[in-house]
Chains A and B, each alone.
Chain A
Amino acid sequence: MADHALTDTGAAIARPPGWRGVAADWSSDQRAFKNVSWGKAMMWIFLLSDTFIFSCFLLSYMTVRMSTTEPWPNPSEVFALNFGGKDIPLILIAIMTFVLISSSGTMAMAVNYGYRRDRAKTAILMLVTAAFGATFVSMQAFEWTKLITEGVRPWGNPWGAAQFGSAFFMITGFHGTHVTIGVIFLIIIARKVWRGDFDVERRGFFTSRKGRYEIVEITGLYWHFVDLVWVFIFALFYLW
């Protein structure tokens, strides 16, 4: 089967700088994103739609928190862990943040090695990223278990406003699902990289199209987005 679409037009087309260049790219019957491949553009557009989903979650959390007459449970105390007889505030969440940031670091390097066509390093760094992601999800499972045993439910909790539980489970649950999907996605692509699919231009089992190392970058976009969402959840839900 032939490749249907030209995925890369090669060199960037020269445009005037600033808004005039944007207008020139968008006007007339043509591809708006020029030398940006369709795969990357579509991943960005998907991430944009996901941005709106998480924005809606965080905005509804803000709305219930601002409008309730009950006191809001103090996240600093709720998420504290006891180490050596002393309560350390938010320590698990801080560790989870560092784990996710580290996974973003290894992912960025995997993309770089992918474009250098360094098969082994790319695959290993992607698997390290997946391992960090799995660690993050496990820690989140631990946190959920701890809160559930302490009596937090979507409809109530021992410390105050009932909406705390519903916002918590909804936001962190949806984010954890994204991380889990990302881990699966990373393992699938890492296997393809390791096998050399993008060097021998092996066709995919589903689309029967040749893959390129760019898929590492596209996977990376999704993964960094998951980290990006966590930055907002950490600031707005846990620290606020």
Chain B
Amino acid sequence: MRRDQHPIKLYLVVWGWLFVLSTCSYLVDYFGFQGYLRWTLILLFMVLKAGLIVAVFMHMAWERLALIYAILLPPVAVLVFLAIMMFESDYTLLTRMVFLGGGP
């Protein structure tokens, strides 16, 4: 599909959805949900919003597959980094509690 053929309505609908999802994530904080429910909802709304922005607003959904993979695959390495740093910070916290006392 050529870009000048997208109806403006498509963007208005996505805009509306982004408003709804943002309101939902704000309400998570407003109503003070805690624990796994809070994390799940926050991450869910975050991923949905990011997906809408990248796919529709940034036109990734209509790009060539070679470009999509070249741009969207490398950030997966961040998840590996994330896992490494979670181990690292747990270890740091443990040593701080053992040698300095205190705790969260």
Give A contacts to B, CB under 8 Å. Answer: 12, 18, 21-22, 25-26, 32-36, 41, 44-45, 47-48, 51-52, 55, 59, 62-64, 66-71, 76, 89-90, 94, 97-98, 101-102, 104-105, 107-109, 111-112, 115-116, 217, 220-221, 224-225, 227-228, 231-232, 234-236, 238-240
Known contacts A51-B75, A69-B100, A109-B11; decide if A227 and B85 are in contact (CB<8 Å): no
A112 to B63, CA, bound (A): 16
Name the one of A59, A101, A116 contacting B81, with C-beta atoms under 8 angstroms. Answer: A59
Known contacts A34-B64, A67-B93, A90-B29; decide if A235 and B43 are in contact (CB<8 Å): yes
Q: In angstroms, how far is the closest chain A Cβ from the Cβ of B34?
A: 11
A240 to B75, CA, bound (A): 21
- Can you list 6 contacts pairing A with B, beta carbon distance less than 8 Å? A89-B30, A104-B15, A105-B12, A108-B11, A239-B28, A239-B42
A105 & B89 in contact (Cβ 8 Å cutoff) = no
Contact with A along B2-14 (1 / 0, CB 8 A): 1110101001101
Known contacts A22-B65, A32-B70, A111-B3; decide if A69 and B53 are in contact (CB<8 Å): no
B81 & A217 in contact (Cβ 8 Å cutoff) = no
| B side interface size, CB within 8 A | 58
Ranked nearest first, the 8 interchain pairs of A and B with the lowest CB-CB distance are A115-B4, A105-B15, A66-B89, A235-B46, A67-B92, A25-B66, A67-B89, A69-B102
B75 & A224 in contact (Cβ 8 Å cutoff) = no
A240 to B54, CA, bound (A): 23
Known contacts A104-B18, A234-B25; decide if A55 and B81 are in contact (CB<8 Å): yes
A231 & B58 in contact (Cβ 8 Å cutoff) = no
- Give chain A residues whose Cβ lies under 8 Å from the Cβ of B50: 228, 231-232
